[in-house]
Amino acid sequence: MRCVPFDMRIAFFGTPSFAVPSLEGLVRSKHEVVCVVCQPDRAVGRGGKIEFSPVKQFGLTHGIPLLQPEKISDEVGLLDEFKPDIIVTCAFGQILKQNVLDCCKHGVINVHASLLPKFRGSSPIQWAIIKGETKTGVTIMQTDIGLDTGDMILTRETEIGKDETAGELFERLSVFGAEALLEALDLIEKGVAVKIPQDHTKASQFPMLSKERAKIDFGMSAEEIRNFVRGMNPWPVAWFEHGGEVVRVFRASVGKGDFCLPCKGGFVNFEVIQMAGGKVLPARDYINGRKIRI
């Protein structure tokens, strides 16, 4: 049984697995998570089965009051009974209007998976890898009415591994972000948080990922294709058409190999692939099984 009062009352907004470590960190902290707000349940897969989001599952397991409005900005009154001191957002998936930003004492802070102002918007982890960045990190920012344009409260930097995929970096930054969030909340609570405006002239933003956008362009160099493959792994997965079939690529390297194709200035070798309806295999195993020659 808790014998001391909680420091701050927090409303947590998040939906996917990336947000779970941040929510878990808050639950274990000296603060109180008074409610969780996540996206409405969606049908997934060909069968249209309804699945709960990772944040919803965590909230239900820990008995935290749960809200799932279609648009929280249209139903901000739902928060009134919880009386939060601050709202924390992490991969929530909705644009917040001013009425939400102004509804509690400390406003809204966000856990963003890039070193702002670079890679604003969606998919910052994937785009950092696709664009060949060697470092990235997380930014805890004060949310304003723009898209990831608010003042920065705290940043934490990390190197991107040479062969690290978006999925692997996703896992690391989710934990990294949770740690940075708790640091930022301590600064805010003590009244010593320094809010640094972003340099908007250095901002970059890229489009949402899709299966169509994951098609490999052989006008890129081998290194660019290698990074593209890393950034599209595990979703939506880079692909191209070869011999009338769609080939999905999970790992690639620069130069010639078992399954190499010409690209700008040289060759790119596809090391781990998947043909339509088949298993994910090393390219050598696929070639041997088909008895074909590339």
152 and 254 together in one domain = no
| Boundaries of domain holding 259 | 212-290
149 and 224 together in one domain = no
256 and 141 together in one domain = no
pLDDT confidence of 69, banded at 50, 70, 90? very high
187 and 251 together in one domain = no
Q: Which region, left, alpha or beta, applies to residue 150 given φ > 0 means left and ψ of -120 to 50 means alpha?
A: beta
**The pLDDT of residue 45:** 73
46 and 177 together in one domain = yes
The enclosing H or E element of 61 equals helix 54-61
In a domain, 260, yes or no: yes
In a domain, 225, yes or no: yes
135 and 251 together in one domain = no
Kindly report which listed range (43-47, 72-76, 90-94) carries the lowest average pLDDT score.
Answer: 43-47
Find, among 241, 230, 211, the residue nearest to 165 by Cα: 230
Q: The domain that contains 261 carries what CATH number?
A: 3.10.25.10
Find, among 73, 53, 69, 65, the residue nearest to 9 by Cα: 65
74 and 165 together in one domain = yes
pTM of the model: 0.93
Judged by DSSP in three states, 89 sits in strand
Q: The domain that contains 158 carries what CATH number?
A: 3.40.50.170
Q: What are phi and psi of 92, to 5 degrees?
A: -75, -50
pLDDT confidence of 213, banded at 50, 70, 90? very high
**The pLDDT of residue 293:** 54
29 and 55 together in one domain = yes
pLDDT confidence of 63, banded at 50, 70, 90? very high
Task: Pick the more confident residue, 37 or 42.
Answer: 37
Cα angle 190, 191, 194 (rounded to 5 degrees) comes to 120
Q: What is the mean pLDDT of the chain?
A: 94
Domain count, the chain: 2
| pLDDT > 70 in the chain, percent | 97
174-190 mean pLDDT = 97
136 and 266 together in one domain = no
Write down which residue in 158, 178, 202 finishes a domain: 202
In a domain, 117, yes or no: yes
**The pLDDT of residue 39:** 96
Find, among 227, 207, 254, 252, the residue nearest to 166 by Cα: 227
DSSP state of 254: E
In a domain, 1, yes or no: no
Whether the upstream peptide bond of residue 69 has omega within 30° of 0, thus cis, is no
Write down which residue in 202, 233, 249 finishes a domain: 202
pLDDT digits (tens, 9 = 90+) for 221-234: 999 999 999 999 99
Residue 218, token pair as written in the block = 């052989």
Q: What are phi and psi of 179, to 5 degrees?
A: -65, -45
Q: Is the pLDDT of residue 3 over 50?
A: no
In a domain, 145, yes or no: yes
98-103 mean pLDDT = 98
Q: Is the pLDDT of residue 41 over 60?
A: yes
Task: Kindly report the number of other CB atoms within 10 A of residue 80's CB atom.
Answer: 9
Write down which residue in 202, 230, 256 finishes a domain: 202
In a domain, 207, yes or no: no
**The pLDDT of residue 5:** 65
Q: Is the pLDDT of residue 79 over 60?
A: yes
Question: Is residue 161 within 8 Å of residue 136, measured between CB atoms?
Answer: no
188 and 114 together in one domain = yes
150 and 230 together in one domain = no
216 and 198 together in one domain = no
9-18 mean pLDDT = 98
How many Å apart are CA 244 and CA 267, to the nearest integer?
21
**The pLDDT of residue 1:** 44
| Residues contacting residue 244 through CB under 8 Å, at least 6 positions apart | none
In a domain, 16, yes or no: yes
**Strands of the sheet with 66-67, listed across from one edge:** 66-67, 32-37, 9-14, 86-90, 108-112, 135-142, 152-159
**The pLDDT of residue 37:** 98
In a domain, 270, yes or no: yes
